[in-house]
Each structure stands twice: as structure tokens, then as C-alpha cells.
Structure 1
Amino acid sequence: MAGMLEFVVRVVGVIVAFLVAPLVVGQAEHKVMAHMQSRLGPMYAGGFHGWAQLVADGVKFVQKESVVPAAADRRIFEWAPFVAILPYMAALAAIPIAPGIVGADLDSGLFFVLAVMSVGVLGSLMAGWASGNKYSLLGGLRVAAQLMSYELPFVLSAASVAVAAGSLSLTGIANAWNPWWLLWQLPGLVVFFIAGLAELQRPPFDMPVADSEVIFGPYTEYTGLRFALFLLAEYAGIVILSALTAVLFLGGWSGPGPDSIGWIWTILKTAVVAFIVIWVRVSFPRMRADQLQKLAWQVLVPVALLQLAITGIGVVLT
């Protein structure tokens, strides 16, 4: 009975965190961009610091009609938003917040999270294919091409940390972390973060879904709550990327004070990384398709391989 109660608590905790964290990041993006770009609109909705902007956005999406194009494959079209967002919920369950505070403490947690995150691209492919729109299909294929390019440096840089820690468990990696990693694994951190932005199609890597490119990529035919789910999947991806970066490279719950407040350090580190994700969006122009591919294959992959080699040599020598 106690085991079942613990399981229910963990499931409820993951669901609540998944529903709240992406919305907080989305609201933060509105406010941070408003400050950086002097956009006053989002700062006034509802009064104090525009607190009602999130509510207004939610009402807007709810009241819009969810249209299914006549030429669309209806079943795949309707399921695509859920396929895009559910992998992030599964990934969140395996990321530890503090010792003992994790939805599912897996021995191969890093492998599980990386594998599950890569499934999200299927939602974009399904959306592009099922829309019955050749431009949406083209956008879906461009998303797939981008994610295939950046998946390799993303995984290689994470593998470097696993080699250094001698474990695939995210809890084990966080426990093995030490401040020296901030220098030793810095190239891997940079590669991991950049590749993660590209996997999430975040600016400056949003070429496949940018309105100035091929309409809005695979999401052109989506309206209402289905479109909102794709947006929520993007913010959920930011949460997962930020939390994973904090655990792998920044020590997770490591910080001053007792372990009982370790969860505070994890959340703070995750929030800082999420802020950097938003700051990058505001600060850098969008890359061209050729620049995007060159960055992946000519820069990130060699750096990630070099980092992995250095880590392997360091582990053997020590």
C-alpha cells in the first residue's frame, strides 16, 4: 500500500511540474523579451507586471476553432500535437531535482531522456505529412533534417559527461560532479547547449518554422488548442534542456547548505539556463540553412568528438 501511494505521489508530482513549469517559462519569455525590447504591451495586461497575459493567451487559444483541413489525414493530424508533447513529460520524470526527489530514478536515465527527447520530432513529421499541404510537408522535412544533424553533437557531448562520471544514471552523474567540471567539460557544455537549442528549433535555429521562411513549417494548418500544444511542447523542451544542463554540467543540487535545500539549487540553475535560452532568442539573428548545417557538421561534431576523447584519456590516466 505504501509503495502504491509513493507511486501515485510521484506521478502526480511529475504531472503538476509538467503543467506548471512550461507555463512559467512561457510567461517569463514574454516578460524578459518585453524588458529587452521595450515592448510595453505584455507588461500591462491585468495590472502588476502583466500577470494576466498568460490567462489572455490561454483564453485566446481555447476560443479559437480547431480546424482540420479537408485534404488532411484526420487521425494523424489530430494526434501529432500529443506525440510532440508527451515525450517531454516522460523525460521530465527521469530528471532528478534532489537526492530522492525524482519521478523515476533509472540506472540508464541519461540514455532514456536523450532517446525520449528525440521522439518529439515525430510529432513535427506527422503534422507536416498529415496537413495535406506541400509547404507543411516541406517544413516537416526541414525540421527532421535539422534534428538529425544536431542529434549527434547533442548525444556526444552528453556522453562525455557520462564517461567522466562513470555512470548513465542522472543521479549518479550529479553525485559525481565537482567544480573542476566547469572547466574540464566546458566545451561539451557549449556544444550541448547549442545543439539543444537547434533540437528545440529555438532562435537562431528556428529556420524550419520561421514565418519569413516557408510559412510556419509543419504547424501552418493548426489552430486553437492543437496549435497551443505545439507551443507548450516548445516550452516544455526548454524546461527539459535547462534541467538536463543543470544536472549534467552544473552539478544539479550541489551548492552551499545542506542537501535538504538541494532542490532549490537545481531549480535556480534550471531557471538561469532557461533565461539564457530566452536571451539568445532576443540577441542573435536567424541562421541560414547552409550556416545551420555547417555549424553542426564542421564545428559542433568535431568539438564534441574532441571533448569525448579528452574525457576518455583523462578517465584512463586518473
Structure 2
Amino acid sequence: MNISLTLSEKTHELLSAIMPPSVASIVEMILIAVVYLTFFAIAGLFLVLLERKVAARFQLRLGPNRVGFQGWFQTVADALKLVSKELTGTVKADKFLYNLAPYFVIITALMALAVIPFAGYFQAFDINIGVLFIIALSSIGVIGILLAGWGSNNKFAMIGAMRSGVQTISYELSVGLSLLTMILITGSLQFSEIVEVQRNGWLIVQGHIPAVLAFMIYMIAGTAETNRAPFDLVEAESELGAGFHTEYSGMKFAYFFLAEFINMFIIASIAVTVFFGAYLSPFGITESLPWLGLFWFLAKALVLLFLMMWFRWTFPRLRIDQLLTLEWKYLLPLNLMNIVLMAVVVWLKLTIQF
């Protein structure tokens, strides 16, 4: 359980002191939504810039360096360009599904951010089934991609969408099972309780070899679930143009583009929370300086984001048969054996304690 109140609880207390409870609840929801939407936009712009800078360094070039100091406002300029672009579409597209798809993808990503414990006080929704909630949302997000492919009435978009469905359903199993492996230690699906268990040491250390294996499987499967290279068959440019969002332009395209980077951040955030102590400092408890907890969380997340970018700019794209073989013949069986191994580790710990 969190020592400090969550963001929503603190906001509700302050507002209830100056206005009626019913009005306070509405204002509270609006304020928290604005905070998260702002974070969503800023994080997306920053991660796009970071991706370009990292790619440039891997390819021995400069990357964005003209707009603003060292190119820091390049993504802002790109965002303004996308906002001003005309929203085009195909004549034969299913207008309702075509227009609905981008919002489906962006809303599920935003909802997932709500349960992430950025700090002891900075968590909008501390639900007791937080891990299950996030896994469920990741399952729903792929529906937006399928709607985009079907609604566009374009064969390349449809092929990309079908690949996304197959890929997400496959690698979702490994993501879920690797998290389930760690839940055997914590005994809880609630993120705040998972963090509390780690006050005496990160779970990746407490869980020994099974925890390290679970982390490795999680990062591979998480990268695949976000449709990033070397698992980017959904948007394989050499085969499908732009894949499922071939027919999108302007802000609708930007929604898909932004959601990919936010989903990357969510994958990294879950890993930080479950394996590396979330906002807890490696050197002790951070309650005396609350903002230091947010710093540690973001610092850990950036390291994992860099790792995912490193994957992208190092490995070549897999074929579809290689993609599915990796999951069904290697990762899934390894995951199932790892859960049994973790259960043995937990049983031995309990036996020694008693």
C-alpha cells in the first residue's frame, strides 16, 4: 500500500475543501486528464527526438540539428506540420471505422498510463488488479490497428493489420507469463504493493535466475508487442508501404505514430515497476524528497527505452515465420519452465523462513 496518497486522492481532498463533493469529483477528473494528456504529448515528442538522436549515433551521423538548439525543437516543428496537413482518405474506405481506429489506439495507451506508479504520490488509479488491467488494455489496443487496416480498404493496410493481430496475440502470452512469474514473489497484482515488496531489494535480485530470465523474455516480447524493429512486420516499408496506416495523414497518422512511442514507454515503465523497484532509489527510501522518486523512475525507464532503441538499430527485420517460431517454439516453452522454476525458488524461501 502506498505510504503517501495517490494523485487523485490528494487532488480530491484539496478540491473538496473549497467546493461541493460532486463538483469536486468532476473538476478532479478534468485536471488529472489534462495533466496526463500534457505528459502524453511531451513524452511522445521527446521520445521521437531521442529515437532520431540514438539512430544518428548508431549510424555515425548527426541527426536533427537545425531547428532549435542542437535540433531540440525538430519534433515540435514536425507536430505543427502534421496538425496543419489535410486529412485525406480513400473514397472506398469505411468512414466510421477509418476515423475511429486512431482514437482507439491513442485512448488505450492513455488509459494504461493511469495505473503506472511514477512516484508514491503520482499515480492516478491504484487498482488492485493493475497488472491484469494493463494486459487487458494491450489486448484492446490491437483492435484499433485491425480497424485501421479493414477500414482503409487497402490490401497493404489489411495485410499489415492481420500481421499485427497475429503478432500481438502471440507475444502477449510471453508478456503475461513473464509478469506472472514475478507475481509469484509479490503475491499481488497491485502496482503499489509490488513496489512495497521491493523496499528490501529489487525483484530482479530477489527472484534470482528466474527473475533475470523473466526480464529478458519480457523485453523481447514487449518490443515485439509494440511492433518495433526487428519485429516491425506490421509496417514493413519494403513490403507494405506504411502497413496498417498507409492511408492515414495529418493528425490521424500522428496518433498512430505517437501511440507507438507511448506504448514503448509503457512497456519500459512496467519493467521498471515490476523488476527494478519503480520510483525507489537504489540507495535507500526516497519519501523525504518526493520528486526524487519521479527522477529515479524516469531515469530507469530511459535506460530501458535506450535498450529497445538499441534493438531497433542493431538487428535486421525477421521474417513472419521466424517471428512466430521465436515465440511458439522458444519463448513460450521457456516461459512455462521459468514459472515452475520461480515457484520452486519461492517455495524454498518460504521453507527456509519457517
Q: What is the TM-score normalised by the length of structure 1?
A: 0.95
Distance of 1:113 and 1:131 partners within structure 2: 28
Gap change, CA 1:39 and 1:56, over 3 Å in 2: farther
What stretches of structure 2 of length at least 5 have no aligned partner?
A: 1-15, 18-23
Kindly report which structure 2 residues correspond to 1:117-266, keeping only aligned pairs within 5 A, or say none: 117-177=138-198, 178-179=201-202, 181-182=204-205, 183-184=208-209, 185-255=211-281, 256-257=283-284, 258-259=286-287, 260=290, 261-266=292-297
Larger Rg belongs to: 2
Return the offset for 1:264: 1.5
After TM superposition, the structure 1 = structure 2 runs for residues 20-31 of structure 1, keeping only pairs within 5 Å, are 20-31=42-53
Query: Is 1:285 aligned with 2:309?
Result: no
1:76-155, aligned counterparts within 5 Å?
76-155=97-176
C-alpha displacement at 1:41, in angstroms?
4.6
| 2:345 aligned with 1:314 | yes
Contact 1:73 1:130 in 2 (8 A): yes
Check conservation: 1:161, 1:173, Cα contact below 8 A. Answer: no
Query: Contact between 1:11 and 1:103, CA under 8 Å: does it hold in 2?
Result: no
Aligned length: 317
Rounded Cα–Cα distance in structure 1 between residues aligned with 2:242 and 2:236 = 6
**Counterpart residue type for residue 276 of structure 1:** L
1:8 is displaced (CA, Å) by 4.8
Divergent runs of 4+, >4 A: 5-9
The residue type paired with residue 250 of structure 1 is F
Does the 8 Å CA contact 2:203/2:276 hold for their aligned counterparts?
A: no
Q: Which amino acid in the other structure matches residue 22 of structure 1?
A: G
Letter in 2 for 1:316: W
Structure 1, unaligned runs of 5 or more? none
Name 1:302's counterpart in structure 2. Answer: 333
Kindly provide the amino acid, as one letter, of the partner of residue 141 in structure 2.
Answer: G
Normalising by the residue count of structure 2, what TM-score does the alignment of the two structures yield?
A: 0.85
Structure 1, 240-249 or 95-104: larger mean CA deviation: 95-104
Alpha carbons of structure 1 residues 180 and 165: separation in structure 2 relative to 1, 3 Å? closer
Q: Which amino acid aligns with 2:204?
A: W
- Whether the 8 Å CA contact 2:52–2:63 is kept in 1: the answer is no
What secondary structure, in the 3-state scheme, does the structure 2 residue paired with 1:213 have?
helix
Identity %: 36
